[in-house]
Amino acid sequence: MRPFKTLVARIAWIALLASVGAASAALPPPLQQVLEHQGLPAEAVSFYVHEPGAGEPPLEHAADVPRQPASTIKLLTAFAALDRLGPVYAWPTEIYLRGPLGNGRLEGDLVIKGYGDPWLVEERVWLLLRALRERGLREIRGGLVIDDSHFQSPPEDPAAFDDQPERVYNVIPRATLLNFQAVRFLFLPNAEARRVDIVARPALPGLRIENLLYLADGPCEPGHRQPAMTQTSDGRGPIVGFDGDYAAACGETELNRVVLRGNAYVGALFRGLWHELGGSINGEARSGRVEAGDRLFYRQQSPPLAEVLLGVNKHSNNAMARMLLLTLGAEDGGAPGTVEKGRAAVLKVLAAHGVPSAGLVIDNGSGLSRSARVSARQLGRALEAAYTHPYGAEFVASLALAGQDGTARRLNRDGGLVAHLKTGSLDEVRAIAGYVQAKSGKRYAVVVLHNQKDLNPDAARALQAALLRWVHAH
């Protein structure tokens, strides 16, 4: 039986290569020329181009081959969220009092319960705390209790994906995620003093900066714009260090990094902003749950989903996409939201709109994954369903404008091209998916999935640009 199975597998593989080769021969000349000029194998890339609601696709090549999509998988998460939740859906964040409040003093703990607000950035945390001050709270004699029970996800290592746990894109989602656990370091060259000043935002209590940067003359090299950071701790708090040359020609730059995680970050950010507002808190931050007897003191609503999707698609925020998947799980399968429930919710929406799911692997919903898989046809069919959906306008508006903003701002800057796109990028993966308006005025769903060992990013971009130009001129 084993030789027979091996023979069948080889025949299937030969048939697949033959079909890919046949499709390659039918590729438009501009694409074929780029493939040949850049030395790109046709079997490493999939194309799908189709006008929503029209007949046969004018271009499809290896469209049913499941490939790594990188961040283009966010389109499925976003579409399912719009369909299931609606564009005005908002996430609450609740504040409870555990103990009596009198004369501005809380004799007990303050409880914060998160429901997965993906946009609880520093400015909105400040507004939340200011609302507490306006309602008479000044002094918290207890600590801060953080209730993350609305989401349940398995423990993850932020270094697991690429061994860079300090990168913000590797932040693990939670129901109470403040400011993506990020610290923005601003580098401000001071020519008169011949030094580089470093400012941390937010200014977390206990965070210390060892500034050994040297202000240098000469051109601004890529390494100068993001100085290398070291991180240590002496038990009193994190210590970050910056060393080396910083070219004055670089001007003011910034670097976003994670130096505290989980409750430690929530507690530090809360304490720092609370002190700025004239408040005080005695205890530390710890995990817990809302208990019987806790009194709801304030509820803050997030921006609507339609605005949140700008961060998910236009700017490709991984943490926001992952929290969106967990939210779908909680809304569709009941709290706590889990990755498994979220995946099931996405698949349910896709099935309802006739999008095939064979071979589809969603994983965490963000594309920060080596196991996620989708075919160009599946992604294209989802784009077509989203385009004709009652909330299609909100979906299209969440995508980056080619040559203008978001992650597509460097694509086709020569003008004349109107395209709303989602990009995807990992080592050995380049992808784009979205909508391109042709000169005829028709709009096409367009997908390129490119998986190749030792992929040359410039060659991949040239192929993507050639396809966009061809669709525009079609």
Tens-place pLDDT, residues 304-337: 999 999 999 999 999 999 999 999 999 999 999 9
User: CA-CA distance, 219 to 139, in Å (whole number)?
Assistant: 51
Best CA proximity match to 284, nearest among 265, 312, 260: 265
E strands, 115-228, where? 139-140, 144-147, 183-190, 195-201, 208-216
- Mean pLDDT on 28-34: 95
Contacts of 193 by beta carbon, 8 Å cutoff, 6+ apart: none
Average confidence score pLDDT of the chain:
92
* Bond into 222 cis (ω within 30): no
Per-residue pLDDT at 413 = 67
User: CA-CA distance, 382 to 433, in Å (whole number)?
Assistant: 10
Per-residue pLDDT at 356 = 96
User: CA-CA distance, 8 to 442, in Å (whole number)?
Assistant: 43
Residue 257 falls in which region: left (phi positive, over 0), alpha (psi -120 to 50) or beta: beta
User: CA-CA distance, 444 to 467, in Å (whole number)?
Assistant: 12
User: At residue 4, does pLDDT exceed 50?
Assistant: no
pLDDT-derived band at 146 (thresholds 50, 70, 90) equals very high
**Total count of residues recorded for the chain:** 474
SS3 474: coil
Best CA proximity match to 319, nearest among 383, 238, 386, 261: 261
User: CA-CA distance, 319 to 324, in Å (whole number)?
Assistant: 9
Higher pLDDT, 154 or 268: 268
Best CA proximity match to 76, nearest among 268, 309, 346: 346
pLDDT-derived band at 75 (thresholds 50, 70, 90) equals very high
Residue 238 falls in which region: left (phi positive, over 0), alpha (psi -120 to 50) or beta: beta
Question: How many other C-beta atoms are found inside a 10 Å radius of the C-beta of residue 370?
Answer: 13
Contacts of 32 by beta carbon, 8 Å cutoff, 6+ apart: 24
For 134-150, give the DSSP string.
Answer: HTT--EESS-EEEE-TT
User: CA-CA distance, 368 to 169, in Å (whole number)?
Assistant: 8
Best CA proximity match to 379, nearest among 447, 322, 425: 447
User: CA-CA distance, 130 to 175, in Å (whole number)?
Assistant: 21
Separation in Å, CA 453 to CA 48, 157, 306, 402, 417: 22, 26, 37, 26, 30
User: At residue 10, does pLDDT exceed 50?
Assistant: no
Per-residue burial over 25-52, b if 16 or more Cβ lie within 10 Å, else e, is eebbeebeebbeeeebebbbbbbbbbbb
Question: How many other C-beta atoms are found inside a 10 Å radius of the C-beta of residue 333?
Answer: 16
User: CA-CA distance, 68 to 144, in Å (whole number)?
Assistant: 41
User: At residue 17, does pLDDT exceed 50?
Assistant: no
Q: What is the pTM of this model?
A: 0.92
Question: How many other C-beta atoms are found inside a 10 Å radius of the C-beta of residue 435?
Answer: 22
Sheet containing strand 253-257, strands side by side: 195-201, 183-190, 253-257
Per-residue pLDDT at 7 = 39
User: CA-CA distance, 18 to 244, in Å (whole number)?
Assistant: 55
Per-residue pLDDT at 414 = 67
User: CA-CA distance, 394 to 188, in Å (whole number)?
Assistant: 38
pLDDT-derived band at 22 (thresholds 50, 70, 90) equals very low
User: CA-CA distance, 245 to 420, in Å (whole number)?
Assistant: 39
User: At residue 120, does pLDDT exceed 50?
Assistant: yes
Backbone torsions φ then ψ of 173, nearest 5 degrees? -70, 150
User: At residue 415, does pLDDT exceed 70?
Assistant: no
For 416-473, give the DSSP string.
Answer: --EEEEEEEEETTEEEEEEEEE-TTS-EEEEEEEEE-TT--HHHHHHHHHHHHHHHHH
User: CA-CA distance, 366 to 77, in Å (whole number)?
Assistant: 8
Per-residue burial over 213-231, b if 16 or more Cβ lie within 10 Å, else e, is bebbeeeeeeebeebeeee
